[in-house]
């Protein structure tokens, strides 16, 4: 395991705040980012699609991002190497609630079908220059609609 | 419309509101010796510096995970430590680096669920410093076999197998093993397995052996497997060569054989709680013995070349705290003409393991096994094919994936020393019950308690399993015949979209400068729909499902409706071009037909199949999260009772010992069992000891 934060004498001050009638003690650990992901390896081993939902908080604001990555290879005996496409799509505020539901409840079959089909195709087309990137981002984001 | 999409998406990409829907878990309670970090403080504008960076992965005890975690930790420290804290560098940028490190192997046909959390701790407002902690958890649980009793046993000694974290790093696996048996002395050996390149019929070549001063056992195996989704969920096949020599009292028994076998596992049924297995094996070899002074039972020969056919089947189940398997095997053996059955061997083996949590990660484990065998000899049988019992184990078929015990095990008697019957050496029937109870008195969970007990973590991980089930459901929907019918309409739809596109282009040429936005919107929607039709017709199997769905109301995009709205309504509502009207009408009609076919897909059945596939995975992960320890010390109580016949008598052997498990590093059980009703020439009991060690290359 990696090294852990060492003890700090000043910490006793924080602990002293806990007691009858006192305000709850501030947390020791404060999350600033969370990412959950689902990766599908196709049975032939030639394609890997990764769909991640990332929540970032800076203490005031909350942002949601879709991290979409597509790997392809022609020989499944060799590593995937660099992704064909790696797109981070900011989730519109209007879809934040949907993003939270997807993170907490999982993707529905329709959302999964969209992620592995149209979203992957759009990402690849954007990478090949046959589809404008914002259009591809919009299609990817539709996974949360 | 295209311009609108561009502008809208650019807005979506840049617009970030002060508040949003959050799922970030609540902070952990105060930890002694660590300064608190207060929610609501912006540590970036507050000019904090990063004092320390830690990467935490519960599977860091594996060599290859440790190596990658060390690498990531070093890179993050280089980037962050001693530098001003920013949310971008500590959050999204760092997570991108972690993702690129790939902590899970790329196993075809699997899914991976991952959880990554970044936290700040030890926030020192006076010094303006804080620490950043990265907690990573990734797993690729195998779907097939998750419900088997063998998988539960493997989870306890090598949890990385049930987490899908084995097939990475070196293609060579080398696992030493050892043990002690009073009949054989100190044993040493191991297993070497080489992963073969994909694409061939076999994926692993392995050598396995153990030897002591008086026995040796060696095996070479080529094995392969496949996990198709369907009624049969998993196939295994093997080619085996084995050579064993072991003492049995004053005799020595030996066997050399070559065999080929397969077995299959069905998709779970009965609410996803049970699955069936079946298989067959053909074997040819020799069995020999040095039984010169020992009386042999009737129709028994000391040595012979032989051939046999084996068939085996069984049921397995797994619930939250219980695994169960019942297996039956039949062997038809011959030492004479190959068409003649010289002996028939029947084996029944029932094994159950349940564990009751009596405190956090402190399960009371009860392993019980009932095994019975019967040999019928219409002609003759080699001595070594009869039953020899004691403290040594033996199985009906080679391999670890399905273990059907075929010897009477009683740990109070040394291996192969329980065989004297009223007719001579080697029993033709037996029944045995074996019970092992253990409870950890010292332990350390694999999953840190603050993580495994975190309801947010559990919910988020469960959600990823739901996503996996959704992908499985799509697979079964894709296999539905109605999808094939809908898919078959794509060439016609492609032609109709082309016709409409031509009509729109012709209309635009005929009316230059008229309705420019409407023409652009219509062309864009036609391009998108045609793009998805073309994508669906590419050879990419199950991904076609989403490409067909996106054309229809099954997907929020609903391409054909967008074509209708933009071309037939927005554009042609003003243009009234007859060719566009006809083209749009044809596309609408075809879309309606396709949606009717698509809607006929039995989604309920697909969902049920997917749920059954995933059910065992969820239970296995629950065990991993809530019950398994990376380290434990447990007192062990054992009780065995075995009887052999004809007229071999019954032996009872209670005992006790201690078990140490250091997951993936070493596990051993040491104990002593008393032979409470020992007979002439039998000892008062026996020491039992086994040891397994970690894979040296992983």
Q: What is the CATH number of the domain that holds B403?
A: 2.40.160.50
Q: Are residues B412 and B312 both part of a single domain?
A: yes
User: Residues of B numbered 52-81 whose beta carbons fall under 8 angstroms of chain A's beta carbons: which are they?
Assistant: 52, 54-56, 60, 69, 73
Q: Are residues B675 and B567 both part of a single domain?
A: no
Distance (Å) from the alpha carbon of B16 to chain A's nearest alpha carbon? 7
B514 located within any domain = yes
Q: Provide the pLDDT for residue A72.
A: 80
- Interface contact flag, B35 A40, Cβ < 8 Å: no
Does B12 reach chain A within 8 Å, measured CB to CB? yes
Contact status, residue B335 vs residue B301, Cβ threshold 8 Å? yes
Q: Which of B601, B630, B662 is the last residue of a domain?
A: B601
Task: Indicate if the pLDDT at residue A41 is higher than 90.
Answer: no
Q: Does the model's ipTM exceed the 0.85 cut? A: no
Q: Are residues B154 and B265 both part of a single domain?
A: yes
Residue among A8, A54, A89 minimizing CB distance to B92: A54
B625-681, pLDDT tens digit by residue?
Answer: 777 777 889 999 999 999 999 999 999 999 999 988 876 566 778 999 999 988 888
A14 located within any domain = no
CATH number at residue B134: 3.10.20.310
Interface test with A, best of B76, B467, B560, B604 (most A CBs within 10 A): B467
Does A74 reach chain B within 8 Å, measured CB to CB? no
Show the low-confidence residues of chain B (pLDDT under 70). 1-33, 105-110, 142-170, 229, 293, 539-540, 663-666, 692-698
Task: Indicate if the pLDDT at residue A47 is higher than 90.
Answer: no
Q: Are residues B111 and B159 both part of a single domain?
A: no
Q: Are residues B656 and B562 both part of a single domain?
A: no
Distance (Å) from the alpha carbon of A20 to chain B's nearest alpha carbon? 16
Q: Are residues B491 and B590 both part of a single domain?
A: yes
Q: Are residues B444 and B580 both part of a single domain?
A: no
- Interface contact flag, B35 A33, Cβ < 8 Å: no
- Interface contact flag, B112 A27, Cβ < 8 Å: no
H/E segment holding residue B9: helix B2-14
A93-122, pLDDT tens digit by residue?
Answer: 899 999 999 998 999 999 989 988 899 888
- Least CA distance to B460: which residue of chain A? A104
Q: Which structural domain, as residue segments, surrounds residue B109? A: 32-139
Contact status, residue B511 vs residue B649, Cβ threshold 8 Å? no
Distance (Å) from the alpha carbon of B266 to chain A's nearest alpha carbon? 18
Q: Provide the pLDDT for residue B672.
A: 96
H/E segment holding residue B562: helix B559-563
CA atoms B527, B533, B539, B540: torsion sign: positive
B674 located within any domain = yes
A137 located within any domain = yes
At residue B573, the 3 state secondary structure works out as helix
Q: Taking Cα atoms as reference points, which of B241, B265, B243, B239 lies closest to residue B253?
A: B243
- Interface contact flag, A37 B99, Cβ < 8 Å: yes
Does B483 reach chain A within 8 Å, measured CB to CB? no
Q: Which structural domain, as residue segments, surrounds residue A94? A: 32-144
> How many domains is chain B built from?
3
Does A30 reach chain B within 8 Å, measured CB to CB? yes
Distance (Å) from the alpha carbon of B598 to chain A's nearest alpha carbon? 13
Q: Are residues B441 and B499 both part of a single domain?
A: no
Per-residue 3-state assignment (H helix, E strand, C coil) for B502-566: HHHHHHHHHCCCCCHHHHHHHHHHHHHHHHHHHHHHCCCHHHHHHHHHCCCCCCCCCHHHHHHHH
> How many domains is chain A built from?
1
B531 located within any domain = yes
Model confidence, pTM: 0.69
A62 located within any domain = yes
Q: Are residues B328 and B406 both part of a single domain?
A: yes
Count of alpha carbons within 13 angstroms of residue B268, beta-carbon side: 25
Q: Are residues B450 and B316 both part of a single domain?
A: yes
Q: Are residues B454 and B508 both part of a single domain?
A: no
């Amino acid at each position: 395991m990696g090294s852990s934060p060492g003890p700090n004498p000043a910490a006793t001050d924080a602990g002293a705040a806990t007691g009858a009638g006192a305000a709850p003690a501030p947390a020791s650990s404060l999350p600033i980012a969370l990412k959950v992901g689902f990766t599908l390896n196709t049975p032939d081993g030639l394609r890997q699609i990764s769909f991640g939902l990332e929540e970032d908080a800076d203490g005031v604001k909350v942002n949601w991002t879709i991290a979409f990555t597509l790997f392809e290879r022609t020989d499944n005996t060799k590593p995937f190497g660099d992704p064909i496409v790696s797109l981070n799509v900011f989730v519109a505020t209007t879809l934040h609630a949907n993003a939270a539901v997807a993170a907490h409840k999982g993707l529905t079959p329709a959302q999964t079908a969209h992620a592995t089909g149209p979203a992957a195709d759009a990402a690849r087309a954007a990478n090949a220059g046959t589809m404008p990137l914002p259009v591809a981002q919009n299609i990817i984001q539709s996974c949360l609609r | 419309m295209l311009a609108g999409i561009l502008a809208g998406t650019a807005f979506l990409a840049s617009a970030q509101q002060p508040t949003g829907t959050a799922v970030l878990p609540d902070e952990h309670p105060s930890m002694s010796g660590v300064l608190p970090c207060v929610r609501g403080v912006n540590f970036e504008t507050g000019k904090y510096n990063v004092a320390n960076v830690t990467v935490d992965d519960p599977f860091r005890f594996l060599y290859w995970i440790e190596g990658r975690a060390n690498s990531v930790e070093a890179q993050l420290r280089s980037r962050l430590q001693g530098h001003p804290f920013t949310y971008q560098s500590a959050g999204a940028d760092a997570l991108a680096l972690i993702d690129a490190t790939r902590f899970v192997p790329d196993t075809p046909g699997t899914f991976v669920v991952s959880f990554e959390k970044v936290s700040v701790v030890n926030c020192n407002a006076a010094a303006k410093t804080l620490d950043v902690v990265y907690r990573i958890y990734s797993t690729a649980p195998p779907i097939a076999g998750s419900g088997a009793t063998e998988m539960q046993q493997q989870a306890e000694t090598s949890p990385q197998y049930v987490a899908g974290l084995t097939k990475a790093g070196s293609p060579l696996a080398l696992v030493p093993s050892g043990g002690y048996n009073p009949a054989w002395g100190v044993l040493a050996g191991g297993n070497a397995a080489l992963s073969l390149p994909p694409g061939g019929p076999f994926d692993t070549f392995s050598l396995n052996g153990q030897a002591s001063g008086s026995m040796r056992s060696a095996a070479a195996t080529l094995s392969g497997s496949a996990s198709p989704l369907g009624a049969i969920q998993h196939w295994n096949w093997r080619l085996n060569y084995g050579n064993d020599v072991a003492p049995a009292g004053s005799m020595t028994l030996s066997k050399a054989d070559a065999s080929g076998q397969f077995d299959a596992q069905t998709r779970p049924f009965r609410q996803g709680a049970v699955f069936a297995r079946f298989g067959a094996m053909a074997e040819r070899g020799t069995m020999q013995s040095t039984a010169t002074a020992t009386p042999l039972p009737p129709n028994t020969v000391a040595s012979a070349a032989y051939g046999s056919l084996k068939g085996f089947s069984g049921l397995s189940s797994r619930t939250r705290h219980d695994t169960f398997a019942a297996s039956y095997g039949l062997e038809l053996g011959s030492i004479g003409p190959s068409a003649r059955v010289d002996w028939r061997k029947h084996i029944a083996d029932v094994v159950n393991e349940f564990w009751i949590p009596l405190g956090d990660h402190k399960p009371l484990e009860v392993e019980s096994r009932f095994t019975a065998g019967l040999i019928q000899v219409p002609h003759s049988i080699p001595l070594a094919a009869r039953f020899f019992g004691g403290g040594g184990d033996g199985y009906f078929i080679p391999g670890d994936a399905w273990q059907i015990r075929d010897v009477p095990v009683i740990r109070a008697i040394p291996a192969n020393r329980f065989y004297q019957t009223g007719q001579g050496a080697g029993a033709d029937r037996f029944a045995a019950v074996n019970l092992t109870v253990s409870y950890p008195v010292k332990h350390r969970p694999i999953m840190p308690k603050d993580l495994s007990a975190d309801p947010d973590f559990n919910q988020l991980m469960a959600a990823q399993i739901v996503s996996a089930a959704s992908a499985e459901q799509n697979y079964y929907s894709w296999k539905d015949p109605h999808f094939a019918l809908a898919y078959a309409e794509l060439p016609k739809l492609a032609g109709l979209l082309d016709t409409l596109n031509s009509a729109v282009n012709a209309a635009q040429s005929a009316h230059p400068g008229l309705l420019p936005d409407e023409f652009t919107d219509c062309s864009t929607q036609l391009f998108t729909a045609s793009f998805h039709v073309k994508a669906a017709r590419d050879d990419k199997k199950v991904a076609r499902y989403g490409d067909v769905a996106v054309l229809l109301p099954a997907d929020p995009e609903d391409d054909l409706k967008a074509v209708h709205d933009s071309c037939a309504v927005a554009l042609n509502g003003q243009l009234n071009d007859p060719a566009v009207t006809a083209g749009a009408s044809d596309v609408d009609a075809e879309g309606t037909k396709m949606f009717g076919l698509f809607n006929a897909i039995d989604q309920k059945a697909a969902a049920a199949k997917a749920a059954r596939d995933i059910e065992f995975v969820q239970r296995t992960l629950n065990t991993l999260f809530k019950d398994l320890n990376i380290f434990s010390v447990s007192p062990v109580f054992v009780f065995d009772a075995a009887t052999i016949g004809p007229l071999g008598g019954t032996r009872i052997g209670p005992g006790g010992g201690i078990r140490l498990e250091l997951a993936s590093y070493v596990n051993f059980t040491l104990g002593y069992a008393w032979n409470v009703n020992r007979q002439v020439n039998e000892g008062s009991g026996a020491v039992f000891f086994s040891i397994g060690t970690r894979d040296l290359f992983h």
